[in-house]
Amino acid sequence: MLRSAKTDTIYLPSLFIRRFNLSMIFTKRLLFSVICFSCYFAFSFEPPAKSKILIDEDFSENALPEKWSVQTGAWSAANGVFNGAEIEADHHAAAARRAVVTGDAVYQFNFKIGENTKAFQFGFDPIRGALDKKGHLFSVIVSPSEWKIIKHLDKNKPKEDPNEILATARHDFKPGDWYHLRVTTSGAEVKAEIEGVEPLTAEHPTFTVKKPALVFRVSGSDVQIDELQVWAKKE
């Protein structure tokens, strides 16, 4: 550092100044990138336009909300989350349904898998009489190392109409971390989004039918769900 003999002015070496300026530029760019990244995810899952909300549940009560039913497994609402676990004696994935009739709609919630989770599914059945088919319609399936959209088989003719994976991608879903899932159905198209992950899209002619309920299934245990919301298009 240099000091003027005539004044009290301090002169910094030019090399230090250049480094300081570069450091400030880098800091500003980094801050700008962080802000943009945060804004993207803050606004990526805003409520859809021209829609009406059908479900808004936060599981704040220590009991299953109205219109829920449990088919298999152990399900409970406690401490603000919905917990699901498979029961070995059932010889079937844990399954619970939330009754609501939807067509084109947006579904979203937070979920967390655990160390003992093999797979978590969110999907639909076709409304009764809409298809000449026995079984589920489609599901978004998350496992610790991947996720996918699958069209389910027709149980009456599994060889002619088997399970079909329509979209899949590798991803490490960490036990104990919360993820935000949004599924959008529009005609025959389905789009599944998880914040920070490349979306999955799929299409099948059977997906146009009405759906009578939301179907949640767990293979293994330790799955938690929170902040369930569903919107439908305004008529």
Residue 8 in this model has a pLDDT that exceeds 80:
no
User: Percent of the chain at pLDDT above 90?
Assistant: 74
Q: Indicate the pTM of the whole model.
A: 0.80
| pLDDT at residue number 48 | 86
Using alpha carbons, select from 56, 62, 96 the residue that is nearest to residue 79. 62
Which stretch, 13-17, 29-33, 204-208, has highest mean pLDDT?
204-208
Using alpha carbons, select from 201, 224, 85, 51 the residue that is nearest to residue 138. 201
For residues 233 and 103, give the distance between their C-alpha atoms in angstroms, rounded to a whole number: 9
- Contact assessment for residue 101 and residue 90, using Cβ atoms and an 8 Å cutoff: no
CATH code, 49-233: 2.60.120.560
6-20, 70-84, 85-99, 111-125: range with lowest mean pLDDT: 6-20
**What b-and-e string marks burial along 177-208, b requiring 16 or more CB atoms within 10 Å of the CB?**
eebbbbbbbeeeebbbbbeeeeebebeeebbb
| pLDDT at residue number 5 | 43
What are the extents of the domains in the chain? 2-43, 49-233
Model confidence pLDDT, tens digit, residues 69-109: 999 999 999 999 999 999 999 999 999 999 999 999 999 99
| pLDDT at residue number 189 | 98
**What is the chain's mean pLDDT, rounded?**
85
| pLDDT at residue number 58 | 94
Neighbouring C-beta atoms of residue 113, cutoff 10 Å:
25
- Higher per-residue pLDDT: 158 or 14: 158
User: Percent of the chain at pLDDT above 70?
Assistant: 81
The mean pLDDT value for 110-119 works out to 97
